[in-house]
Amino acid sequence: MGLNTVYKAKSFDLSGLTGISDETLAMHFKLYEGYVTNTNLLNQQIAEMISGGQLDATKTAAFSEIRRRYGFEYNGMVLHEYYFGNMKKQGTVDANKDSAFYKSAEESFGSYDVWKADFVATGKMRGVGWAATYQDPSNGALSNHWINLHETGNVAGYTPILIMDVWEHAFIKDYAPADRPKYIEAFFSNIDWDAVSGRLQDTAGSASAK
Ligand SMILES: [Fe+2]
């Protein structure tokens, strides 16, 4: 994001999901919009601090704090867009066996089921964050990652393929904190697998990418 860039919150038509209520989604969209607002706000503050062409030495600490928060808010904005973007009404629990994603998961993990078990186990980890399947742009391989908060654990340059929010705000209106596995099951019944496969990039090492 350049200092002149202003982001706009996107809208997602997701009402009527299975096991994730419209009430949860409405609250979650508001939280997402907060990340967009704060990303823009911090960007503006940085622009102001640097407007003379250099940073006033008395503002170094303040600048550092804003820059750190910027990573939190910016990743919070982007991850939510991937998350909402990989769900849809009447999604299907598992990827179709003929899909590019299924084949990629098989290639990278030995089987789709092993990929899924690994992804779900990642999502059940204690802590606040996200489960993510990323694709390595150099060879097309998929790997699963735990993202702490929003900004720790993302792999630079990798392509987000499937993103699952496991912060409690993603399900607290529908499930108790200890019932995160039920939310994960619900998430899986709403996945837009076409969107997921569509994120795969063609790479030299991957025969299965679309
Ligand atoms: Fe969230």
User: How many angstroms separate the CA atoms of 65 and 27, rounded?
Assistant: 27
SS3 147: strand
Check pLDDT > 80 for residue 4.
no
Please give the distance, rounded to the nearest whole angstrom, from the Cα atom of residue 65 to the centre of ligand 1: 22
What average pLDDT is seen over the chain?
A: 94
Question: What confidence score (pLDDT) does residue 92 get?
Answer: 87
Please give the distance, rounded to the nearest whole angstrom, from the Cα atom of residue 15 to the centre of ligand 1: 16
User: How many angstroms separate the CA atoms of 12 and 85, rounded?
Assistant: 7
Per the model's pLDDT, the better-predicted residue between 92 and 131 turns out to be: 131
Question: What confidence score (pLDDT) does residue 91 get?
Answer: 87
Please give the distance, rounded to the nearest whole angstrom, from the Cα atom of residue 56 to the centre of ligand 1: 35
Please give the distance, rounded to the nearest whole angstrom, from the Cα atom of residue 84 to the centre of ligand 1: 9
Please give the distance, rounded to the nearest whole angstrom, from the Cα atom of residue 207 to the centre of ligand 1: 34
Question: What confidence score (pLDDT) does residue 147 get?
Answer: 98
Question: What confidence score (pLDDT) does residue 52 get?
Answer: 81
The per-residue pLDDT for range 39-81, each reduced to its tens digit, is: 999 999 999 999 888 998 899 999 999 999 999 999 999 999 9
Please give the distance, rounded to the nearest whole angstrom, from the Cα atom of residue 37 to the centre of ligand 1: 15
Best CA proximity match to 86, nearest among 73, 95, 98: 95
Question: What confidence score (pLDDT) does residue 3 get?
Answer: 67
Please give the distance, rounded to the nearest whole angstrom, from the Cα atom of residue 169 to the centre of ligand 1: 6
Please give the distance, rounded to the nearest whole angstrom, from the Cα atom of residue 44 to the centre of ligand 1: 24
Check pLDDT > 80 for residue 145.
yes
Check pLDDT > 80 for residue 204.
no
Amino acid identity, residue 157? G
User: How many angstroms separate the CA atoms of 180 and 27, rounded?
Assistant: 18
Share of the chain above pLDDT 90, in %: 89
Confidence band (pLDDT; 50, 70, 90) for 35? very high
Please give the distance, rounded to the nearest whole angstrom, from the Cα atom of residue 194 to the centre of ligand 1: 22
**pTM, entire model:** 0.94
Check pLDDT > 70 for residue 122.
yes
Please give the distance, rounded to the nearest whole angstrom, from the Cα atom of residue 138 to the centre of ligand 1: 29
Please give the distance, rounded to the nearest whole angstrom, from the Cα atom of residue 171 to the centre of ligand 1: 9
Please give the distance, rounded to the nearest whole angstrom, from the Cα atom of residue 131 to the centre of ligand 1: 12
Please give the distance, rounded to the nearest whole angstrom, from the Cα atom of residue 29 to the centre of ligand 1: 8
Question: What confidence score (pLDDT) does residue 207 get?
Answer: 47
CB 180 within 8 A of CB 19: no
Share of the chain above pLDDT 70, in %: 95
Question: What confidence score (pLDDT) does residue 210 get?
Answer: 41
Confidence band (pLDDT; 50, 70, 90) for 209? very low
Question: What confidence score (pLDDT) does residue 166 get?
Answer: 98
